[in-house]
Amino acid sequence: MTVTYHREQELGIITVDNPPVNALSHAVRQGLNDALAQARNDDSEAVLLFCAGRTFVAGADITEFGKPVQSPSLQQVNERLESLGKPVVAAIHGTALGGGFELALCCHYRCASPSAAVGLPEVNLGLLPGAGGTQRVPRLIGPQAALDMITGGQKITATDAAGLGLIDRVLEGELKPAAIAYARELIAGGAPLRRIRDLSVPAPGFNQNAFDEYRKQLGKRKRGQQAPQKIVDCIEAATRLTFDEGLAFERERFTECVASEQSAALRHIFFAERTAPKIRGLDTAVQPRPINRVGIIGAGTMGGGIAMVFANAGIPVTLLELNDEGLQRGLALIDKNYGITIGKGKLSEQEAAARQARISGSTDYHSLADADLVIEAVFESMDVKRQVFSKLDEVCKPGAILATNTSYLDVNEIAATTTRPEDVVGMHFFSPANVMRLLEVVRADKTADDVLATAMSLGKRIGKVPVLAGVCYGFIGNRMLRQYGREAQLCMIEGAAPEQIDRVLTSFGMAMGPLAVGDLAGLDIGYKARQALTAEQKGDPRTYCIADALVEQDRLGQKTGAGYYRYDPQTRARTPDPEVLEIIQAQAAQHGVQQRELSDGEILDRHLLALINEGFRILDSGGRDRPTGQRY
């Protein structure tokens, strides 16, 4: 049974057991409904709500979204829970998220293990809490904190939740006996039935102007997203409507979100990200190799970013450069990046220092002799990479994984440089590596299964979304981005300014525009990659002539203070540069392009359709190979 009810003297104990995360499936809701009926009709003095396994209810069963709701709904269960005529205490461990936390909010009291966390992350799926979360949370903690919590979608630790007033008691020791003791303490003290629905929203100073200003700021942080704005509407409704009216308002907005294309897309991504690391056809007996120390070759922007990724995950890193000057420059950039994170309040000075302490520098290849994994992040030159891997083959211990961060080059050719091609794999990070979540794991012809398993499991360990790719030019991400960038170049040479192109794409919802991304990654990377191609492979000169012209004038992007934009050396703030417009116009004239005014709509359509069409080509070309785990 997914839900059981039993008595322990004066207490009724409801236990949910629906592994792996106790999702609120129909069976769980029906079980809760039946258990509450038992509790209502017996002489128990209070009821404790527990969950078996590793977590409290971690959320709704999202596989039921878009399907007819089977009674009882979560709203019906919550109503019966809240209206029970005796105290109900939720005992939380693991995570109480989404509908799970809304369930806990309908209990009269909430206690939790110190390691527990709570949250309403529905916004990450293009949704909003649909079972009273937007109406109950502001009644407990006020509109401002509720807005930050629900539009942010992050988890909150039990200690912080208690400080806000979302949790009543953080328990010490084993959860069940501590929660039973807490429930008995409430009974002995004659604790009242504290129903959140009966509270008013504490909203001094939070008026219509405050909600309007929050919507404005949210529009900048979550551009183009519908769910965050609807969350503001719901929390505002909590301040001016009765509780039941607010619930009805919330439910209408929730239904709108569920039916939206945005939520459908985000739910697809949710499942895709969880499916991607699974390699079809790989024997389940294959075990990953242990990774306790990592080496990174190349202390540039990419290499330093990768070093930060592993240091942030608690894995010691040796960062190798050819000379001390380059090494110190790389370590200084890492220090600067951590300083920026501290300045934004996202990391304490102590934690930043601890992470930096995990990164050591070296100019001697032999310092990598005890590394379990070495990732090269040097120039996109096959000759350079052959030299690096030949040296790694000499100094690295047997069983060490040798990975290349190449964006485009043939991993088979790189692997052939070594005497152990079975240990070679592609691990392609995206810039900035310490921020971007995608990690392409590239399977070469001779890559061993346990090497693949290691790379995929390690990707999850360091907080990335690992995706398996086969060997081809650009793999998956850059193959798509090549078409995206192609349209940016064509739009520029046809008459659109860089800032117009980037504005259109960021207004749509992209975190950065394609040209700003180019400046961030470094325009020399693409330039060097093109130099290895034939004229036929390069394609239409109009799709790269502007980028080449910029590089040939030493405008490499942020690293040189100028690319498609000019950059402030201290803040990295970018500004349009009239010199770039002159370069664009000169290239247009040279290639016989008559410039014109491009509408924002045309720019958006051309960029998005380029991505969509290439995505279909990738699926079409890789579909027959999917059983082997390859998608390229």
With helix as H, strand as E and coil as C, how does 268-306 read?
HHHHHHHHCCCCCCCCCCCCCCCCCCEEEECCCHHHHHH
Is 301 within 8 Å of 323 (Cβ atoms)? no
Whether the CB-CB separation of 378 and 297 falls below 8 Å is answered with yes
- C-alpha pair distances (Å), 283 with each of 195, 403, 449, 583, 623: 52, 22, 8, 55, 21
Q: Edge-to-edge, what's the strand order for the sheet holding 109-112?
A: 3-8, 11-16, 46-51, 88-92, 109-112, 169-170
Beta pairing, strands 294-297 & 373-376: parallel
Q: Which residues contact 256 (CB under 8 A, 6 or more apart)?
A: 230
208 CB-near residues (< 8 Å, 6+ apart): none
* Separation CA 128–CA 453 (nearest Å): 36
Nearest to 129 by CA among 228, 273, 213: 228
Evaluate whether 298 touches 385 at the Cβ level (below 8 Å).
no
Strands lying side by side in the sheet with 424-429: 359-362, 317-320, 294-297, 373-376, 401-404, 424-429, 438-443, 465-470
Secondary structure letter of residue 562 according to DSSP: B
Enter the tokens of residue 570: 């201290």
What is the distance between the alpha carbons of residues 452 and 610, in angstroms, rounded to a whole number?
31
Give the C-alpha separation, 89 to 87, whole Å. Answer: 7
The two tokens of residue 272 are 């895709």
Strand pairing partners for 566? 562, 575
Q: Respond yes or no: is residue 602 known to be catalytic.
A: no
The Cα 169–Cα 405 span in angstroms is 48
Closest alpha carbon to 414 in 369, 454, 447: 447
Beta strands in 430-516 (DSSP E): 438-443, 465-470
Choosing from 8, 64, 82, 102, the catalytic residue is 102
As a whole number of angstroms, the distance between CA 518 and CA 557 comes to 7
Grouping H, G, I as helix, E, B as strand and the rest as coil, residue 127 is coil
3-state helix/strand/coil string of 57-89: CCCECHHHCCCCCCCCCHHHHHHHHHCCCCCEE
Q: Is 113 left (phi over 0), alpha (psi -120 to 50) or beta?
A: beta
Rounded Cα distance between 47 and 293, Å, is 49
Residue among 82, 122, 250, 614 flagged as catalytic: 122
Active site residue 440: no
Catalytic amino acids? Answer: 102, 122
